């Protein structure tokens, strides 16, 4: 018994935030209350009624120089690299910063958690795989985004972490970017709002949240060596605006600066993006941490606004920073500012007062949440002759083809990879999910389709590996449902928008054999569909998460009425994009590993510029409008099993809000995402409509509702680099309202006089 107790105590002391966790697990509410009071008397910063900034300053006053230096860098690669030391207290995540027990400052344990918590398997833990961030954003539902973040926060807490390093909000400028599944949208307002809510959800669990990768890390090819070039106004109105909105909404503890250069300087040592914009203009109070290995200097980075070097083994912010402070190259005040930002964020988010208490992650709750988000986020792109929802009373046979739909759903790779329970569903082996392989999660669409088809219906599965056999299976069934997958990952971009592994030919073969073909896409982002006209229905399920199989079946059979809209444009071909080829990518096909990721020295590769001024402010749907090109499926588009009618648009003077009526003219209840776009006066130099606001509305069949949507004045403004200010241009503003960026039945011109 004694041994057991010692072992247990040992476990607690080694756990993250062990110091405070032990406190939190004191003898009882009263004694822990009086212990807290006693501590607060001796250590006034432990008085939770004080302001986080005051508490931080009180604590910093007591810190030695060495303690301060210890806080501004991580303890190395830890579990990420074989052979790297793992310190006691390290919880097994991507990052670890030891705390200062004598001051009651807990360790910081950081976990990658873009779509769920990474590396859970290493410690036999479970983590919920959520749908991709892009899939969640397709719900256009800020509550779903908050829920998404709260699942992550809840599970981080249960696993003993106190900081998330998810929260990707890089703009989808490059639809072939390997990490788009971690990001939210090509539109800064949609992306910023959704990721802001996601990070709020994380922080609502007393976990430090993070927004990344700041900024213009819009492709993986050459991410460590490329210089993103974009004029300052365009940057403020696009990529930076997404960050501004997300950071403003969430007030995250951390902002992770990216690997790439931004107009000349590495993002992690750019005075312009860190000091001037993030900290000065936006008033960000948290700390800037580098992406892993993204720090390139000591003095320059420290003076530019970097507050924490991760994973910290490069030595920039350890001894060299201490020396720079002693030499006066970095002032003591700047070092204190770094510490202040870190410590105040710990107080503000509650990781000191409400430290994580380890518990068993609830996989059932996580799965239900993931399924709900997926049901709101899967986009019905095509549904001719009302083939969907499938009517079990009429369907006797279904052929399910491809995509490993018999066993599960695909997930995204890289540092966003979540470990699949039971191992990769297509090749179960014990151990963590390997980097660089497509991992399937055990949520079988086939199983749930079988459950929902009529008893006695013949539902067969064909793996789709042989087109002739697949066509035969399709021909023998009333309905053919083809599952196609596109695996994407950090460190790679896809050379083209085409589906990999000859899947276009598979769909074409099935469609030729069966006129009632439905395609379910499981993709990281937009893909081309040369077969679109030959199939009846298309459902984009993104990476659907651990509840994906059931969510897909629920939509196919109409238990759920689809409601999502595309958060990104689906181009008809690569040649329609602003950059027909991924800049810097030498390959012409397949998913390509970025050479700069392989070459860790990054010295043998030629740095290159990516000229984002080609499209400038005209990202995504704006480009298609400006160039008058027709996408395959436009931004904001998505079908429902209901239909919605818009009427009576009015715009308040000053463009403060819009009002209109929305009617469900269909025969079933459904949600409509009503979208508001604004075209600024001609003199603004932005010849395209931009999303300004939206509302997701639930309507019973036949119901009509008067809708009011407030407009944020910022979204009617342009950024002037003459005075670094936003201002409203003079002239007529065109407001358009409807259910897709390409279908806007209502319009209203707010004349110059009424627009101020």
Tokens 């990490």 map to which residue? 179
Beta carbon of residue 220, minimum distance to ligand BGC (angstroms, whole number)? 9
Q: Alpha-carbon distance 626 to 156, whole Å?
A: 44
Positions of E strands within 435-533: 440-441, 458-462, 479-485, 492-494, 517-522
Tokens 């966790």 map to which residue? 21
Backbone angles phi, psi at 143, to 5 degrees: -70, -35
Query: Which is closer to ligand BGC, CB of 170 or CB of 615?
Result: 170
Among residues 709, 708, 634, 698, which one has the least CA distance to residue 666? 698
CB 620 within 8 A of CB 648: no
Query: Which is closer to ligand BGC, CB of 314 or CB of 490?
Result: 490
Query: Which is closer to ligand BGC, CB of 415 or CB of 444?
Result: 415
* Tokens read off for 660: 């209109």
Task: List residues near ligand BGC by CB under 6 A.
Answer: 94, 112, 165, 212, 291-292, 415, 490
Beta carbon of residue 537, minimum distance to ligand BGC (angstroms, whole number)? 35
Q: Alpha-carbon distance 587 to 494, whole Å?
A: 9
Beta carbon of residue 363, minimum distance to ligand BGC (angstroms, whole number)? 24
Beta carbon of residue 31, minimum distance to ligand BGC (angstroms, whole number)? 40
Beta carbon of residue 548, minimum distance to ligand BGC (angstroms, whole number)? 23
Three-class SS of residue 78? helix
Tokens 């397709």 map to which residue? 138
Query: Which is closer to ligand BGC, CB of 112 or CB of 237?
Result: 112
Among residues 139, 570, 565, which one has the least CA distance to residue 370? 139
Beta carbon of residue 595, minimum distance to ligand BGC (angstroms, whole number)? 15
Angle, alpha carbons 170-172-175 (nearest 5°): 140
Question: Residue 151, Cα to own-chain centre: how many angstroms?
Answer: 14
CB 418 within 8 A of CB 118: yes
Query: Which is closer to ligand BGC, CB of 212 or CB of 367?
Result: 212
Query: Which is closer to ligand BGC, CB of 94 or CB of 680?
Result: 94
255: left (phi over 0), alpha (psi -120 to 50) or beta: beta
Query: Which is closer to ligand BGC, CB of 235 or CB of 256?
Result: 256
CB 165 within 8 A of CB 287: no
For the CA atoms of 180, 550, 378, 419, the dihedral, rounded to the nearest 10 degrees, stands at -10
Q: For the beta carbon of residue 216, count every other beta carbon within 10 angstroms.
A: 27
Positions of E strands within 358-457: 379-383, 397-401, 409-410, 440-441
Q: For the beta carbon of residue 430, count every other beta carbon within 10 angstroms.
A: 7
Beta carbon of residue 112, minimum distance to ligand BGC (angstroms, whole number)? 5
Element spanning 29, H or E: helix 29-42
Beta carbon of residue 89, minimum distance to ligand BGC (angstroms, whole number)? 18
CB 539 within 8 A of CB 548: no
Query: Which is closer to ligand BGC, CB of 292 or CB of 347?
Result: 292
Beta carbon of residue 189, minimum distance to ligand BGC (angstroms, whole number)? 23
Query: Which is closer to ligand BGC, CB of 107 or CB of 594?
Result: 594
Query: Which is closer to ligand BGC, CB of 212 or CB of 344?
Result: 212
- Laid out side by side, the sheet with 108-111 consists of 95-97, 108-111, 163-164
**Burial, 124: exposed, middle or buried (Cβ in 10 Å; 0-12, 13-18, 19+)?**
exposed
Note the helical H segments in 350-418.
363-377
Beta carbon of residue 223, minimum distance to ligand BGC (angstroms, whole number)? 8
Beta carbon of residue 86, minimum distance to ligand BGC (angstroms, whole number)? 15
Q: Alpha-carbon distance 338 to 286, whole Å?
A: 9
Query: Which is closer to ligand BGC, CB of 291 or CB of 615?
Result: 291
Beta carbon of residue 94, minimum distance to ligand BGC (angstroms, whole number)? 4
Beta carbon of residue 165, minimum distance to ligand BGC (angstroms, whole number)? 4
306: left (phi over 0), alpha (psi -120 to 50) or beta: beta
Backbone angles phi, psi at 655, to 5 degrees: 65, 30
Beta carbon of residue 169, minimum distance to ligand BGC (angstroms, whole number)? 12
CB 94 within 8 A of CB 74: no
Q: Alpha-carbon distance 397 to 25, whole Å?
A: 58
Beta carbon of residue 304, minimum distance to ligand BGC (angstroms, whole number)? 19
Packing angle between helix 467-475 and helix 503-513, nearest 10 degrees? 30
b/e map 136-163, b = 16+ CB within 10 Å: bbbbbbbebbbbbbbbbbbbbbbbbbbb
Query: Which is closer to ligand BGC, CB of 163 or CB of 585?
Result: 163
Q: Alpha-carbon distance 727 to 236, whole Å?
A: 13
For the CA atoms of 38, 44, 48, 50, the dihedral, rounded to the nearest 10 degrees, stands at 150
CB 330 within 8 A of CB 324: yes
Query: Which is closer to ligand BGC, CB of 382 or CB of 415?
Result: 415
Beta carbon of residue 96, minimum distance to ligand BGC (angstroms, whole number)? 12
Query: Which is closer to ligand BGC, CB of 112 or CB of 155?
Result: 112
Query: Which is closer to ligand BGC, CB of 56 or CB of 171?
Result: 171
Query: Which is closer to ligand BGC, CB of 239 or CB of 375?
Result: 239
Query: Which is closer to ligand BGC, CB of 125 or CB of 212?
Result: 212
Beta carbon of residue 581, minimum distance to ligand BGC (angstroms, whole number)? 23
């Amino acid at each position: 018994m004694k041994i057991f107790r010692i072992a247990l105590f040992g476990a607690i002391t080694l756990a993250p935030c062990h110091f405070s966790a032990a406190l939190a697990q004191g003898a009882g509410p009263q004694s822990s209350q009086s212990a807290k009071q006693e501590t607060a008397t001796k250590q006034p910063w432990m008085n939770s009624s004080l302001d986080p900034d005051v508490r931080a300053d009180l604590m910093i006053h007591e810190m030695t120089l060495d303690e301060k230096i210890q806080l501004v860098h991580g303890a190395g690669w830890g579990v990420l690299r074989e052979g790297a030391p793992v310190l006691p207290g390290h919880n097994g995540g991507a990052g670890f910063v030891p705390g200062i027990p004598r001051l009651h400052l807990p360790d910081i344990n950081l976990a990658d958690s873009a779509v769920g918590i990474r590396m859970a398997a290493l410690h036999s833990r479970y983590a919920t795989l959520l749908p991709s961030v892009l899939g969640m954003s397709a719900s256009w539902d800020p509550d779903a985004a908050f829920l998404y973040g709260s699942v992550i926060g809840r599970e981080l807490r249960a696993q003993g972490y106190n900081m998330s390093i998810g929260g990707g909000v890089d703009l989808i400028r490059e639809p072939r970017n390997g990490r788009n599944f971690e990001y939210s949208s090509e539109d800064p307002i949609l992306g910023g709002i959704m990721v802001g809510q996601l990070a709020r959800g994380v922080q609502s669990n007393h976990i430090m949240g993070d927004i990344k990768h700041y900024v213009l890390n819009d492709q993986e090819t050459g991410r460590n060596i490329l210089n993103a070039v974009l004029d300052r106004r365009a940057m403020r109105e696009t990529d930076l605006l997404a960050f501004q909105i997300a950071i403003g909404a969430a007030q995250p503890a951390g902002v992770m600066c990216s690997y790439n250069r931004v107009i000349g300087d590495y993002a992690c040592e750019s005075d312009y993006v860190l000091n001037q914009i993030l900290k000065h203009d936006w008033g960000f109070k948290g700390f800037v941490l580098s992406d892993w290995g993204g720090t390139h200097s000591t003095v320059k980075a420290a003076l530019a606004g970097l507050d924490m070097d991760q994973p910290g083994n490069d030595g920039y912010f350890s001894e060299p920073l201490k020396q720079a402070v002693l030499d006066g190259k970095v002032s003591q005040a700047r070092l204190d500012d770094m510490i202040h930002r870190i410590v105040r964020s710990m107080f503000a988010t509650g990781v000191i007062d409400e430290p994580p208490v380890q518990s068993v992650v609830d996989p059932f709750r996580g799965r239900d949440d993931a399924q709900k988000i997926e049901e709101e986020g899967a986009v019905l792109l095509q549904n001719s002759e009302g083939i969907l929802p499938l009517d079990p009373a009429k369907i006797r046979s279904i052929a399910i083809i491809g995509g490993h739909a018999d066993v599960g759903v695909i997930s995204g790779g890289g540092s966003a990879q979540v470990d699949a329970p039971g191992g990769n569903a297509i090749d179960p082996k014990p151990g963590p999910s390997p980097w660089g392989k497509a991992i399937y999660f055990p949520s079988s669409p086939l199983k749930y389709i079988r459950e929902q088809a009529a008893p006695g219906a013949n539902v067969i599965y064909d793996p789709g590996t042989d087109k002739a056999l697949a066509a035969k299976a399709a021909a023998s069934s009333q309905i053919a449902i083809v599952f196609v997958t596109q695996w994407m990952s950090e460190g790679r971009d896809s050379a083209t928008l085409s589906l990999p592994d000859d899947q276009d030919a598979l769909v074409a073969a099935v469609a030729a054999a069966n006129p009632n073909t439905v395609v379910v896409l499981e993709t990281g982002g937009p893909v081309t569909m040369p077969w679109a006209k030959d199939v009846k229905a298309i459902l984009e399920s993104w990476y659907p998460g651990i509840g994906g199989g059931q969510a897909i079946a629920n939509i196919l059979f109409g238990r759920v009425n689809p409601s999502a809209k595309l958060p990104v444009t689906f181009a008809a071909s690569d040649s329609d994009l602003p950059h027909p080829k991924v800049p810097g990518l030498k390959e012409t096909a397949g998913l390509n590993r970025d050479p700069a990721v392989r070459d860790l020295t990054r010295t043998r590769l030629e740095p290159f510029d990516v000229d984002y001024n080609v499209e400038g402010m005209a990202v995504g749907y704006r480009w298609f409008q400006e160039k008058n090109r027709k996408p395959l499926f436009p931004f904001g588009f998505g079908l429902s099993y209901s239909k919605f009618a818009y009427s009576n648009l009015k715009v308040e003077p000053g463009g403060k809000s819009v009002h209109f009526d929305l009617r469900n003219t269909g025969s079933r209840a459904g949600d409509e995402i009503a979208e508001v776009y604004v075209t600024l006066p001609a003199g603004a130099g932005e010849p395209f409509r931009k999303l300004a606001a939206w509302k997701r509305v639930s309507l019973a069949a036949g119901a009509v509702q008067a809708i009011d949507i407030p407009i944020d004045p910022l979204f009617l403004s342009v950024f002037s680099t003459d005075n670094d200010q936003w201002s409203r241009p003079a002239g007529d503003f065109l407001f358009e309202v409807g259910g897709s960026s390409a279908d806007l039945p209502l319009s209203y011109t707010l004349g110059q006089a009424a627009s101020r």
